[in-house]
Structure 1
Amino acid sequence: MATIAVLGTLDTKGVEHTFIADEIRRRGHDALLIDVGTGFPASIDHDIKREVVASAAGLDMASISSSKDRGKCVAAMVKAAPVFLEQLHKEGRIKGVISLGGGGGTAIATAAMRALPIGFPKLMISTLASGYTAHYVGSKDIVMMPSIVDVAGLNKISRTLFSQGAAAICGMVDIQISSVEDKPIIVASMFGNTTECVGTAKQVLEKCGYEVLVFHSTGTGGRCMESLIESGMVAGVLDITATEWADELVGGVLAAGPHRHEAAGKAGVPTIIVPGCLDMVNFGEPDTVPAKFAERSFYHHNPQVTLMRTNPEECRELGRILAGKINDYTAPVTVLLPLKALSVISAAGNPFHDVDADQSLFDAIRMHLRKEIKVVEMDAEINDSAFARLCAKSLQDLMVKT
């Protein structure tokens, strides 16, 4: 039997969380009801009071609540709940967490869940789960389940979905992970346009005894990779796909934020960096592309993804940004430049082939990098097997030296 945290705003959603707790107990596990409400007193019996949660972060909930400022109260609990839940996890008191919520409850509960490690079961049943959820999930493995109806009482639909949610978190807690040989972990960034390069390098590294985890450079993927590097679990980084910086600079939909390419340098993890797919900015369907880009070069990757070619000016700035991030590395790092193409579609004869733009990128990287940082150039396309093998070998060389 495991203990599962049932975390929620028990002033407004007490009955619903009690139902979840009862369903968990019916399946043979224990439930720890935790109140993170910020308004009226909890409407049901529970195990841990909101004052206890707040005190974990050094906050006085009574004083905060007296302000009658809901925004201030929710912000306080968003700060306190992660501290308290992380403490419960470190003490081994919980093996999973589930919550129900609307706007405030989802903000509080997912903030708490993001404090827990990858692999720890986390399930959020939310009225907001069918929309944009990146700011709730962050770089963690939070399962977002749509509530369909509002979390406002029990009815035919909510009982069904809440029961399924309880069953799901119990199943996640029950799962037995088969033991496998521990191998040093290498993380790699990939896009559809760099698949061949990453795939070949992955095969080479796996034959040498490494486990290679591939992250899709979709913004969320880049942030997840950075988070895993920060965790201390990673022995090497094969950062082949930097496309998220193009979206960050130009305004595409797959930006990873301003802290991409920082974790490895701070953590001291050996890293290979390739400016892969900096020839493209990602947008959604064609009619979502801003009108100011109407005269640019586009490639319709699929009905939902429209790619725009970066121009020489943007490439110069991207080279400066990437070099600036690399200059801050205290870890061993090598930059590899595939001079003939940055992606499948920028190779000669393909839609994004633009020698001037690529040259602007390479020149800016060379110009702004610290002189002591090693740069290796190959007269090859990024997906050539020779370049992929160079990536793998260069990373191995760095790892051997550390």
Structure 2
Amino acid sequence: MPVVVLIGTLDTKGPEYEWLRDRLDGLGMQVLLVDTGVLDPPWPPPDISREEVARAAGTDLAELRAQGDRGVAVTAMARGAAQVVAELYREGRVHGVLSVGGSGNSTISTCAMRALPVGVPKLMVSSMASGDVSPYIGNTDLTMMYSVVDIAGINRISIRVLANAADAIAGMATGFAAGCPAPPGDRPVIGASMAGVTTPGVNAARELLSVLGYEVLVFHTTGSGGRSLEAMTAGGTLTGVLDPTLLELSTALVGGVGGASPDRLETAGRLGIPQVVSLGCLDMAKFGPEVPRHFRHRQVHVHNPSVSVIRTNADECAELGGTVAAKLRLATGPTALFIPLQGLSTLSAPGGPYHDPEVDAVLFDSVREGLAGSPVEIVEMDTHLNDPAFGRAMADHLHVSMTPTPALRAAAS
């Protein structure tokens, strides 16, 4: 029988959790109810008590109450819930996790969900889900559902939302319990960065790498995508990195939407993992539907109703070139930088709105100067980044750096 773990503060959300437990029971789920409340007595009675959660966090419930600090209590119970859920997973007693609540319970429960591997169903119904949910989701496959009304009783709106959530996690848990067929073979895994405006070049590289025997995971450079790429590299999932799309760096520089984390473009180098990098999308920086007033004199391009970009200028490109060079100089393993002399995205192709060879030249000169004397190999091609030949050249170079002897290259092919 699939097991669904319900995580909640049963001193404030008891009726909602009792309703969810009964709904899931009717759907054939085994339910484990974890109480993360601190103050009033819990209802309904949990399967795993708040005292157990506090102990898992290395603290005592009475001590948390005595401190009278909600922030301290939430932090501790989040830590404990993560330990409890991770242990349940190791015991084979988690096929899905569901929680409902506001900011406090969303913080506690999503911390627990993030402790689970990718693939384990995780669903958070939250009144916070219509805003910036990146602190809750992190680098996981966690699903957030907006509650529309606050989680404060069973009413004509909440009952439909909660029913959908229960039905959804039951379906996901049933599928997870049944098992998912693994992809054939045991191919080495490459992580690749991509945006819509670098898709043709990255697809050409991906297709060649697939032919050469690799499995390619593509990460959309939206800020969270870059963080996931770095996290999977650090976690040992990836054996090589193809990183031609650096939009997050330029976006972070100007304070846009979806900027890079501090470790972006550093993890593979620090761990000695082979990497091939390019300068894709450093001709632009990304914002939401509205560009800040002080940037409206720039070349603004509406990518879609949710995303607008601006053209980076010469000063920004000079700084970006230095940043890329500084990060690549940290590398301890095979590292190459490919420079496409004819443009960095579909927008900067000849005839495109961001085509500006003079500004691009500032970027290229800056990164060349920053890498002078370093072991990083620089490969320049008189093509556009999205030219299939450029993508295939990057892929082939990565393949060679990962299989350094002729015999190994022949075997990988």
Query: Normalization by structure 1: what TM-score?
Result: 0.95
Tell me the residue number matched to 1:60: 60
Tell me the residue number matched to 1:294: 296
Q: Tell me if structure 1 keeps the 8 A contact 2:251–2:258.
A: yes
Shift of 1:125: 0.9
* Identity fraction in percent: 45
SS of 1:306's partner is strand
Distance, in Å, in 2 between the alignment partners of 1:146 and 1:303 is: 21
Shift of 1:197: 0.2
Tell me the residue number matched to 1:343: 345
Q: Does 1:130 align with 2:130?
A: yes
Shift of 1:319: 1.3
Tell me the residue number matched to 1:279: 283
Structure 1 stretch displaced more, 203-212 or 75-84: 75-84
Task: Give the root-mean-square deviation of aligned CA atoms.
Answer: 1.7
Structure 1 stretch displaced more, 387-396 or 361-370: 361-370
1:333 maps to which of 335, 339, 363: 335
Distance, in Å, in 2 between the alignment partners of 1:24 and 1:304 is: 37
Distance, in Å, in 1 between the alignment partners of 2:59 and 2:361 is: 55
Aligned length: 400
Change (3 A) 1:270 1:165: same
Distance, in Å, in 2 between the alignment partners of 1:18 and 1:355 is: 64
Gaps of 5+ in 1: none
Tell me the residue number matched to 2:31: 31
Shift of 1:331: 3.1
Shift of 1:117: 1.2
Q: Tell me if structure 2 keeps the 8 A contact 1:248–1:258.
A: no
CA distances 1:63-116 after superposition (whole Å, capped 9, x unpaired): 122111212211222333223322222232222211011111111111111121
Shift of 1:138: 1.2
SS of 1:206's partner is helix
Q: Which amino acid aligns with 1:387?
A: F
Q: Which amino acid aligns with 2:37?
A: G
Tell me the residue number matched to 1:72: 72
2:209 maps to which of 176, 199, 205: 205
Change (3 A) 1:72 1:161: same
Equivalences for residues 298-309 of structure 1 within 5 A? 298-309=300-311
Shift of 1:255: 0.8
CA distances 1:122-163 after superposition (whole Å, capped 9, x unpaired): 000111112221121111111111222221122233222222
Q: Tell me if structure 2 keeps the 8 A contact 1:39–1:70.
A: no
Gaps of 5+ in 2: 406-413
CA distances 1:273-305 after superposition (whole Å, capped 9, x unpaired): 1111000011222xx222222322222223332
Query: Normalization by structure 2: what TM-score?
Result: 0.92
Tell me the residue number matched to 2:321: 319
Q: Tell me if structure 1 keeps the 8 A contact 2:329–2:374.
A: no
Q: Does 1:383 align with 2:391?
A: no
Equivalences for residues 169-188 of structure 1 within 5 A? 169-175=169-175, 176-182=179-185, 183-188=187-192
SS of 1:234's partner is coil
Shift of 1:388: 0.9
